[in-house]
């Protein structure tokens, strides 16, 4: 039974080592997040972040207003919805509205 016990002990030691490394890495990421930097070392100022948030809010309001005034929501393109059809002539899949590319 010594071999099996040793194997079990090595597994638990390895698992503990991985968990410790993961916790250390997470702590480092949390510290960087609080500081406002990402892993590449670029920092966003609070002013830039506020401007981006304001722009996103205005964009969302404009879209909501357009929809409430009777405007239609933009339809996704066929490439986003996966509506490619297999061509009879060239056997490739492409957008049927655009025609065969060959």
Query: What tens-digit pLDDT sequence spans the chain (102 residues)?
Result: 689 999 999 999 999 999 999 999 999 988 887 776 655 556 667 778 888 899 999 999 988 888 888 766 566 655 555 677 777 777 777 777 777 776
Three-state SS at 94: strand
**Phi-psi region at 57: left, alpha or beta (left = phi > 0; alpha = psi -120 to 50):** alpha
The reported pLDDT for the residue numbered 23 is 94
SS3 letters across 51-67: HHHHHHHHHHHHHHHHH
The residue among 56, 25, 52 whose CA lies nearest residue 33 is: 25
Strands (E), 1-102: 85-86, 93-94
The predicted pLDDT at position 81 comes to 58
Which pLDDT does position 33 carry in this prediction? 79
Q: What predicted TM-score, i.e. pTM, was given to this entire model?
A: 0.35
Amino acid 43: pLDDT: 62
């Amino acid at each position: 039974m010594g071999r099996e016990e040793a194997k079990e002990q090595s597994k638990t030691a390895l698992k503990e080592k991985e968990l410790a490394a993961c916790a250390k890495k997470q702590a480092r990421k949390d510290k960087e997040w609080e500081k406002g930097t990402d892993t590449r070392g670029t920092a966003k100022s609070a002013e830039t972040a506020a401007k981006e948030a304001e722009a996103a809010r205005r964009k969302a309001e404009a879209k909501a207003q357009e929809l409430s005034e009777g405007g239609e929501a933009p339809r996704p393109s066929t490439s986003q919805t996966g509506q490619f059809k297999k061509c009879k002539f060239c056997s490739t899949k492409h957008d049927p509205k655009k025609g065969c590319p060959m």
